[in-house]
Amino acid sequence: MLKNLTILNGQDVYLNKDYAISFKNPEALLQTLKNIDEEITARGFYNDELVIDIITLKIICYKIKEPIPYFISLTYDDSSLPDKIIPKMHKLIKKLSSFVEKNPLPAGSISDEYQRLIESECSSNIEDLLMLRPAKISIIGHDFVGKTSICEMLHTGNLPKKYKETTNLKKYNAKLFGMPVLIWDIPDPGDLSERIWESFILGSDAVILGLDSSKENAENSKSMIDLTDKIIPHAELLIVANKQDTEEALKPEELENILQCKVFPFVADKPENSIIIQKQAAKLLEIKADGLDYSKEDFIIQRND
């Protein structure tokens, strides 16, 4: 998942675009990249692809010497594959170099308008980089908890036209606040062998566990929390307490006492609630976009901090 694209020329920032949160400190990444650029320049590492692993990130960077000595970096999550990213990065560099030659830098500091022009010129290349490694969200849970409804709300903003039990894996290509994502609707683990179910959740960046908010379902779902923690320990988790409008539903705090985890109260049979679950899923992936407020109550269970 592409988290950031930055283009520097010394201390001048041509472009610094966040697609998802890289560091908890919002200023840390840019300063880190400036330090890397300074070190690369001092050592004369021009026209070399460098891959730097730091915490759970993979920074892929390149220093151009001519016509202008600028530094470009792509920050991905650490599961991304540089061999697939680097060729597309070179296409972006070629487009950027052509743009800079045709549009000389204005005197003084880089204007917002010039930055917007760069982003617009390189938009197709940036889209390719975003599509290269979309984030994967696995939707898990027992039967009849609303998994498919949640998937459709994330995918289209609508509800399924008719109920159909999830008996086979279904995959959705979707966008959340402009970011490409893969959504996997995974059957009840009781319908599959343990090996197959585990293979389905491998590679997940995030997991949404659906509940029907009953006591029995909550107790039976604890094993899935433990399994995901074991198999994909770096995937963030959101537990959706669906069907909160039914008489049998336990209150969120009662479910939290059973699970010893935060739960997100929800009703998945109302189309107007689509934007609510979309925002929660976007925050699960730490997407940066207008309309996402990270200062509000957080239901995400962060397991990789």
Domains and CATH numbers, the chain: 2-132 (3.30.450.50), 135-284 (3.40.50.300)
The model's pLDDT over 50-105, given as tens digits with 9 standing for 90+, comes to 999 998 899 999 999 877 888 999 999 887 789 999 999 999 999 998 888 888 77
CB 71 within 8 A of CB 62: yes
Residue range 31-37: average pLDDT? 95
- Looking at residue 276, its pLDDT comes to 95
The model's pLDDT over 118-127, given as tens digits with 9 standing for 90+, comes to 999 999 999 9
The model's pLDDT over 284-298, given as tens digits with 9 standing for 90+, comes to 999 999 989 888 878
The model's pLDDT over 107-157, given as tens digits with 9 standing for 90+, comes to 667 788 888 899 999 999 999 999 988 999 999 999 999 999 999 999 999
- Does the pTM surpass 0.85? The reply is yes
